[in-house]
Every structure is written in C-alpha cells, then in structure tokens.
Structure 1
Amino acid sequence: MPESLFVAVDGQQLHLRCFGPDQGQPLLMLHGAISNGKVFYSDSGKGLAPYLAAQGFRVYVLDLRGRGLSEPPINSQARHGQLEAIRDDLPAVQRFIMDRHPGQAVHWLAHSWGGVLMASTLARFPGLASRVASLTFFGSKRSIHSWSFERLIKVELVWNLLAPWWVRRHGYLPAKAKKIGADNETANALADSIAWVKKRPWIDPKDGFDYAKAACNVDWPRLWLLAGKADKALGNPRDVARFQQEMAAKGQITLLAKTNGFRRNYNHLDMLVGSDAAKELFPKVRDWLLG
C-alpha cells in the first residue's frame, strides 16, 4: 500500500508519496509547473509510479513546496520560488532517500519543468550526480524557441501575460481556480520560470548562479529525454533537444510518434496519463531503468 512521508525543510513539510517494496531500487519523481505529484499516480492505482512499484522499485513522488499534500499550501504570503527547490528541497529529499537506502543510487525521473529543476540541482551540486543512477525527463525544456498556435495561447497569452496579472491581483498564481493547472504557483516561481522560458541565459534570476557554465563540469548520469510529436509548445521536441545541448550531457532522445512505432503522436500530458502510455511506454521506462 502506498504511504506518505514528510521531509522538513526551512519550515516547510515536503510530501513524498511512496510506492513499492522498502528494499527496492529507489526512484524519485518530480512534477512540473502548476502541477503536483499526482501526475504520476491516481487514487485508483493507475500511473507510472504504481506501475514501477509493481516492478520492484521503491518510488518516492515529491510534491514541491505548497503543492499537493506539502504544507503549508501556497497562498499570497508564500515567498519561495525556483531557487529554494533547486538549492534546498531537492538536495534535502535526495539525502532523505539515501539515508533510507544506504549504498544505493537513486533514479531521478521528472515531467516537464521538473526536469529543469533536477538538472539545475545537479549543475549547482555536481557531487550529487554520483548518487543518481539515471535521469529520465518527459517533455522537459528550459526555453521555448519553437513557434506554434499552442505556444501563442498557452505560453505567450496565459503564462507570460495573464498569469502575472493574476499574481498582481491575488499575490500568487491561483492556477487551480483559473483551471489552467492542477496546482498553484508562487509569485516568485512564476517570475523565475518566465525569465527562463523567454530564452534568457541559464543563470539563476535570484543569486546569479551560472547553471550553463557549471553544467559543463557535471559527470552526468545516464540520460533519457522523451518528447511527444504532438507537443507543440510545452515540450516541443526541438526545445527538448536544445535543453540537452544546454546541459552538455550525452544521452538519448526518443520522439514519441507514430513514425517511430508508437500508437499515437503523444502530447505533453498523455505520455504519462494516457492509456496507450501505460501499455507501450511504461514497460520501456522499466527496461531503461533496469539498464
């Protein structure tokens, strides 16, 4: 049965939803922006996390600060942003998992913006890379270069224009109430992500840390990036490839498209929640993790 654990960081309680046998190979999953850990599992037992747990992995699904079951929830008083997730939260959760699995490396798996946060953490703390068994990123990009109608609506209109306006009104981004996402975002997290999405350098907006320069010195774990052919904006395959180049990391990119033998041209979300993904993609993830 799944269970919930909590990691205390800087007055926050970070929620980890845990699946699978205690002795299994540990795996950390991280969601993207305006989301939470439930992108990897459902209450009915569906999703990539329960699937991999059934294959023998010990899966830890993280809710970032204020998201999901993490406490306190995001409100107008929340001041944390990307920097805290990169600098404080992910290293603390990694240490927590390593303490529970002595001598074992931890697989890292992320959806969308979660891959940017994970890569940024390893660039800032390259010593952590030796205890990361692999990186698997679904639809992860840092900056958006590719143009499409989907980008015009979801990025230029909603994310870059409407979202900052909602923040000015509410003090945070009420993404759930506005029906643009599964969870809310802080004002700082939104501002930080907009800075990077707009093709600005991979430099921290808060403390000036140069992630791009640091990435060149990381001994990156095995890397697999997955991109959906029908994902026109949030994880456009060309932007996913640019992100890998920016990481200066060797790895493989898989285009989830009918022309590559998949049942559909996947989009940004159905690569994790679609029924076809459970049948044809999840087993490939299992095999990749097993090496």
Structure 2
Amino acid sequence: MQQASIFISDGEDQLHLRHIWKKPGGVPIFMLHGLIENGYIFYTEKGKGLACFLAEQGFDVYVGDLRGRGKSSPAINAKSKFGQHEAITRDIPLFLEKIQQLNTQKTHLVAHSWGGVLLTSFLARYPHWLDKILSKTCFGTKRIVTAKTLEAYFKLGFMWRYIAPMLAKNKGYFDAKKFRFGSDSETQQSLSESIAWVIPGQWHDQSDGFDYYHAAENINWPPTWHFTGINDRALGHRQDVQLFINESSNYAAKFSVLSKKSGSLVDYDHINILTHAQAVNDHFPQLSSWLKQQR
C-alpha cells in the first residue's frame, strides 16, 4: 500500500488531499471529515483506518482536509473568514475535480459526521455531479439535534452553542484541540453556520440563502448507506440520523445501527465507529462488499 499527499492551490490556500492505494486502476473513493476534525479520522500513515482498509481491498482512496484543517494550509487562525459555504462551493468541488483528473471513473463518497451534511448539501446544490457519483456512505451524520440525552445537552446544548462561541470570540477562532474538544480548529464563521443548522429549522445557506431542503426533494440520490453506533448518544444519535435521511428525501437509503445486539462485535460510538480495532472484522468488510456491488 502506498500513500502520497496532493496539494491543490486556491488563491493563498493549499488544500490537502491524501492519496492511498495499493494497485492502479481501482475505483475511486473520496472521504470527507466532519467538524473539529481532519482527514486522520480515516487513516494513519502506518496503514490503519477505513481509508487504508479500502485501499487494501483495491479501491483508489482520496481523503480530503477541508480548508485550514489537517495538512491544508495555512492553518485556521484569527484571520480565517471562511465557513461551510466555502466548503460546499469551493473545497468539495476542487477535491472532486482533482480526483477526476487522476481517475476518470465514477466515485464513491464516504463521510464522517458533519462531512455527510456538507457532501449532501454539495450534491443538492450541484446535481450535475450526480452523474459522476457511484454511492454515498455516512458515519454518524446528522444535521439537527433532537436527542434528549445528557451527552447531547452537554456537548451540543452547552459546549457547542455557548462555550465554543465564547472561546472563538476571545481568540478569533475555535481552537478545539487546545481545549480537548476535538482534533482540529473551526473558524468563527463555520462555528456560527453549524450552530444555525444544528437547531431545528430551515436547511438553507447562511451566505446566499440557497435552499438545500427543497433542492434535496428533487434529487435522485445514488445508493446510500448510513451507519451510526448504538453508543453515539449526541453527535450522531440514531434518532437524528433518521431525521437527516428523511429531510434529505433519501428514502431508499440503508441505515444500520451498530451494536452487539444487532450482531456487531462492539457497541460503537461516534469516533470508534471508524477507529476501533475490531471495525476491520465488523462493518468495514460489509461496506467494502457493498461498494463493490454498486459498480
């Protein structure tokens, strides 16, 4: 298995795309992380993670670092003004265009958490891309939060809506890694936009008003599989994942809640659904088989 970094220039910014493959000619997969994350949720340089597993299965895997995160540069700082509008209208198209240049086959999409919201929004906004997409897979993806759990109240009701904006205002951006709330930073703009979307209400763009909800109603979605863990009680609660499937009008989507009761080896949560050592013996092979069927 081989790994290489690809850098895409966009003005003064450099977007990082990690390429992971074992043999040439594989079907491409694009992976996108969520908020306060970067591409390392999918891979390690030593060959662990879902991206590396799928590369071993013959896929041509590309993992993106959204603007300012991971190995993209410059890193998010007090001068960073971009948000999720730029992720949807600039970053994702640039990633997919680069992948198309390198591998002209249709592409699978895989996302974790908020990355699934961004990818779904992208496809709703730019439906002409659907002709180049084979499937969409989301791990722990929700938009709004309705789960009434203690963890949801603390992480989203208190930390995300109140503490994070206060810390971001003081520093000029939210340094989630410093406060052990995540693995990467968010801009004030991104934080503000995500807070607006987490609260039940209209799914529209905060920058230009684009109506993603009504656009999604007219989309003929590619084969889609949503996963979440039974122990994901806040950031990808099964109740809220189902709500996102419904509001996306993706009624044919598969949905699996991973738990020992349902046959999994582990009661997974929001993070270890991608990082647990047992995942390679559990849902990773299932996903690989399903992706190969979509050809």
TM-score (norm 2): 0.96
Correspondence for 1:238: 239
Correspondence for 1:85: 87
Give the distance between the partners of 2:239 and 2:44, measured in 1 at CA: 30
Q: CA deviation at 1:241?
A: 0.6
Match of 2:111, SS state, is strand
Shift >4 Å, 4+ stretches: none
Contact 1:86 / 1:118 at 8 angstroms: preserved in 2? yes
Q: CA deviation at 1:245?
A: 0.6
Match of 2:184, SS state, is coil
Give the percent of matched residue pairs that are identical in Structure 1 and Structure 2: 42
Match of 1:258, SS state, is coil
Give the distance between the partners of 2:267 and 2:260, measured in 1 at CA: 6
Alignment of 1:213-228 (within 5 A): 213-228=214-229
Q: Which amino acid aligns with 2:281?
A: K
Q: Which amino acid aligns with 2:253?
A: G
Correspondence for 2:68: 66
Give the distance between the partners of 1:70 and 1:243, measured in 2 at CA: 29
Match of 2:29, SS state, is strand
CA RMSD of aligned residues (A): 0.9
Gap runs ≥5 in structure 1: none
Correspondence for 2:255: 253
Correspondence for 1:3: 4
Give the distance between the partners of 2:65 and 2:178, measured in 1 at CA: 19
Of 169-178 and 257-266, deviating more is 257-266
Gap runs ≥5 in structure 2: none
Correspondence for 1:165: 166
Q: Which amino acid aligns with 1:139?
A: G
Give the distance between the partners of 2:191 and 2:123, measured in 1 at CA: 22
Contact 1:130 / 1:221 at 8 angstroms: preserved in 2? no
Correspondence for 1:277: 279
- Paired residues in the alignment total 290
Alignment of 1:1-291 (within 5 A): 1-20=2-21, 21-102=23-104, 104-249=105-250, 250-291=252-293
Of 46-55 and 91-100, deviating more is 91-100
Q: Which amino acid aligns with 2:185?
A: N
Q: Which amino acid aligns with 2:27?
A: Q
Match of 2:227, SS state, is strand
Q: CA deviation at 1:214?
A: 0.3
Q: CA deviation at 1:166?
A: 0.4
Give the distance between the partners of 1:242 and 1:9, measured in 2 at CA: 35
TM-score (norm 1): 0.98
Contact 1:112 / 1:234 at 8 angstroms: preserved in 2? yes
